[in-house]
Structure 1
């Protein structure tokens, strides 16, 4: 690292505070409002005027996001909740400095009393190791290429989720290949379909929390789920166990949150669990309903389930209200076809989600070695050398 030198950020750049922008002036992106408005949490909206003309580094100044770093891509506005790079004192690569500041986590410079605040002085006094300009550019180029792949994957996931949402709306209410429909409380459904209560086509098991002295985190007894804190993307995460189980759910049961602000949130059991009172387990009746078809309907009904809950400060939904939710029901064969189509859409999202996670981990690893000089890059090629 002989070519790297230790400098204070105050020797590298000058920063200044942004200017206030009333929330009422923030608009969605349009030709009339093309300029992004940055705060500590990133882009808050768009406006028809800009405060800074070129690319800049934005640093959250106050509140929850103080110390969080963003990089603008062109003309933009920065609010007084953030600081931004006014000029660079020495020749440096802006992208590299942006990545370096993100890696160093400027949030640790925040004041320790009152409202979280990071000011210019501790930022100027903060020391960094700075390579030569050519190496800065190569490191920034490598990290930018990973960022581009991340953005592309996120866009694919967003589009896939949009497609799935459209498929759910179409398939779960119109079915496959139907031409005759009838009117119901939720609108038109195929004439051949039934309109039934959830409690008539599933078994509902409401959770019951075991005694506190039966809890343990050493794997004794059966895994215990109390609520959404143990939920993963699809299946729960085992955090604790109980040796005095009360209510049990089976593998592939739909797990539904029935208490609190997350009422309506869902996971699928990948094994037997004891379920506490914050959850309910839903099991399709064999030969009548397909478990995956019911799962996708529960996903679609999440907002309705929350609206059916009682209690303004602590929402909850009881077994009777849950049982009385109406579902349009085709024959079992069509249920399975619909579930398979939606599963394919889900699988696309899952594959891209795994790819995104790999890219995010790659970026994290590259930042750890490239921004510290543990792995060097040749200035004449994108090849890392020790």
Structure 2
């Protein structure tokens, strides 16, 4: 029997109970590849890669013939309100099954759960599964060297803390309220990412011209504004007013374009190689066995440190003064591109003097001809296809410095680069603001879970102190 982390004294009215006495659970079957390979219709089955951000990704579902499911796997068909939980790799990822998800088959690495009786609230169960206490207990019991796994035999050894039902429901209600705000924030982030993608497609292929005769924006409909001041409708072709003044996208009916190796581009633009617009620096790694090279002075950027954000603000590892001296320094406003490995094509921008490992090629832009912010967007937009073509079918994708230097991008005149960068930066600022707000909400949720699911803070106490209203 496992020894779980236990409070010295349970809050009044709480019980410590066996998980198996209050929760029904069933692990999915092991499905062999011959059952689903090449199948594009039938009954879909669920696995861990299909669950993301509280959603089921339909495009990642695979299918099994309906007759085979009826004959051999019928008792593994999921039902509405089943809580499905990942039991391999990323443990504890969970989601409720909705009516629109059905029919759907359970698969190995996924366990379905539901309360055995009305003494356990299903939303409370979900949040307890997500809690640090449950996760720690499962990780201690899980097996597997390459990745952690657990199953019904482990769940039979688990205990959970169970408050009275009304308190369970209030705890779940509070946490669900935070989740709803997180979900809405996610929707805003995704919306602005779509806006950004559309803008990049237009601005980085057609460019913009200033139109000093424009007095208003013309989209064919009135636009609302986000609280940040950025337009929150998907931007289309037309004329726009922003912090840089009145501008409009080039139009082949009114402006001149020319053929190039990259397709049609505005007549004023030219095609250049990355090596022509800045210095290319390939990173290196100081000997890892010498601890004196590592410390907390300088960022040591690896692919994991380059995220969806434009700026690279931190790194998992850092170098000492001595480690930095034997490395290749990268100045601020350089463009880092991953050129080795499965994440080839990730792009980020430095904010301080730093260094990178050998998987990254960095461009130190010549600011006489190139705006660093514009270059970031140009590299992000134009490098993906050539990088994958250069890497070819190698087991480990690699694009070396010389091949990276030859990648071509279009280059607008410097003033136009600055205008393009200004527009895209405004959208990025909204995305980054919303991402920081989401991170704050997630910290709040973790704190609430730690306090409420252990009874450290009682719901009644929150009501008494005015943090939440009674009955709301």
- TM surpasses 0.5: yes
Deviations 1:160-211 (Å, cap 9, x if unpaired)? Answer: 1111111111111100132221222222111221122222222223335556
1:182 lines up with 2:258 in the alignment: yes
Q: How many residues align?
A: 377
1:216 to 268, 278, 293: 293
- Residue 39 of structure 1 corresponds to 47
- Aligned-partner Cα distance in 2 for 1:120–1:275: 45
Q: Is the alpha carbon distance of 1:348 and 1:323 closer, same or farther for their aligned partners in structure 2, counting shifts above 3 Å?
A: same
- CA apart distance, 1:138: 0.7
Q: Secondary structure at the match of 1:286?
A: coil
In the alignment, structure 1 segments of 5+ residues that lack a partner are none
What stretches of structure 2 of length at least 5 have no aligned partner?
Answer: 1-10, 70-75, 209-248
- For normalisation by structure 1, the TM-score amounts to 0.85
RMSD, matched Cα? 3.3
2:349 corresponds, among 261, 265, 268, to 268
Normalising by structure 2, we get a TM-score of 0.70
- Report 1:285-296 matches (<5 A): 285-296=366-377
> Residues of 2 paired with 1:201 and 1:24: CA distance?
47
Secondary structure of 2:156's aligned partner: helix
Give the equivalent residue in structure 2 for 1:197. Answer: 273
Is residue 2:89 matched to residue 1:64? yes
User: Using a 3 Å threshold, how does the CA distance of structure 1 residues 355 and 92 change in structure 2: closer, same or farther?
Assistant: same
Paired residue secondary structure (1:294): helix
What is the CA-CA distance between 1:358 and the residue it aligns to?
A: 0.7
Partners of 2:423 and 2:146 in 1: how far apart?
53
Which among 179, 186, 190 is matched to residue 147 of structure 1?
Answer: 179
CA 1:348–1:27 in 2, change beyond 3 Å: closer, same or farther? farther
- Contact 1:376-1:384 at 8 Å conserved across structures: no
* Corresponding position of 1:227: 302
Shift of 1:312: 1.0
Mapped pair 1:137 → 2:219: no
Shift of 1:94: 0.5
> How do 1:80-119 and structure 2 match up within 5 A?
80-81=107-108, 82-85=110-113, 88-103=116-131, 104-105=134-135, 106-111=138-143, 117-119=149-151
Aligned residues of 1:93 and 1:136 also touching (Cα < 8 A): yes
1:204-237 deviations in whole A, cap 9, x for unaligned? 2333555665852345xx6263632444642142
